[in-house]
């Protein structure tokens, strides 16, 4: 059964069905700074939905992680990190009133918290080892990288593809390390408006035996925003006999 939240512009559909996550008290909302899914009405309705279904929320502000995108554009590493961190602070200032809509306890965790964690380097190296030695994991990372390249239209940049792949791999392995640390001592639903990466899926399902532990304590929930116009049109489509 699907779960919808009524709103004048769109509905929220949650996948998978509630029976797989209804016992969880804590959730983690992944925030991609700059994404329209984490601004204004969509953010507000997401927070209200979270309030209705959980008792505590971790706001995973993935600000400094975005430095990889700026580095690819040619920005020096230090400047890329500064810009990503600055945009994270701006997001927090811009949305502090929206966060107050949560009528449950919550805390905001910036990406630097994980980069400075005493176990981060060991976790990052652990995923690097898996990438080099585990064929299934490496193929999952490469699948996600190829998907990113196609989505961004980078296929024609043949001279830059090697650098793009390395940049994307580093992004994914860092994200895996940070999220594994996040869930190491926290059983929670991971909430994000998108499908989980294949590399996250194989680790979360315990298929990569030597991977750092933690991610298996999380359940990925995908939020889908559906406009009322689209939903109405779907309802009027002829049904198959």
pTM (two decimals): 0.88
Percent residues over pLDDT 90 in the chain: 70
Alpha helices in the chain (DSSP H): 40-53, 67-72, 77-99, 111-115, 120-133, 135-152, 161-184, 198-204, 228-235
pLDDT score, position 231: 46
Mean pLDDT along residues 92-118: 95
Could you report the per-residue pLDDT of 59-92, keeping only the tens digit for each? 999 999 999 989 888 899 999 999 999 999 999 9
Q: Which of 57-66, 156-165, 231-240 has the highest mean pLDDT?
A: 57-66
Mean pLDDT along residues 114-125: 98
Judge: domain 10-231, CATH 3.40.50.720: no
pLDDT score, position 158: 57
Reply yes or no on whether the pLDDT at 97 is more than 70.
yes
Q: DSSP string spanning 101-142?
A: T--SEEEEEEHHHHHTSTTHHHHHHHHHHHHHH-HHHHHHHH
Rounded CA-CA distance 181/214 in Å is 6
Domain boundaries of the chain, sorted by first residue: 10-231
pLDDT score, position 213: 97
């Amino acid at each position: 059964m699907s779960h919808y939240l009524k709103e004048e512009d769109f509905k929220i559909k949650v996948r998978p069905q509630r029976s797989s996550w209804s016992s969880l008290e804590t959730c983690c909302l992944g925030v991609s700074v700059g994404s329209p899914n984490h601004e204004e009405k969509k953010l507000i309705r997401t927070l209200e939905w979270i309030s209705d279904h959980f008792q505590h929320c971790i706001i995973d502000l993935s600000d400094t992680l975005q430095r990889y995108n700026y580095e690819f554009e040619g920005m020096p590493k230090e400047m890329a990190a500064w810009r990503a961190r600055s945009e994270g602070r701006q997001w927090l200032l811009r949305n502090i009133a929206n966060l107050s809509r949560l009528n449950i306890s919550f805390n905001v965790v910036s990406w630097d918290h994980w980069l400075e964690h005493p176990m981060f380097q060991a976790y990052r190296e652990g995923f690097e080892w898996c990438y080099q030695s585990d064929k299934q994991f490496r193929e999952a990372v490469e699948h996600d990288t190829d998907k990113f390249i196609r989505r961004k239209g980078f296929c024609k940049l043949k001279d830059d593809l090697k650098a793009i792949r390395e940049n994307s791999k580093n992004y994914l392995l860092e994200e895996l390390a940070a999220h594994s640390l996040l869930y190491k001592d926290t059983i929670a639903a991971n909430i994000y408006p998108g499908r989980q990466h294949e590399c996250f899926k194989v680790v979360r399902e315990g298929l990569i035996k030597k991977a750092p532990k933690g991610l298996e304590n999380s359940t990925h929930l995908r939020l889908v925003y559906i406009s009322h116009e689209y939903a109405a049109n779907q309802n009027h489509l002829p049904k198959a006999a």
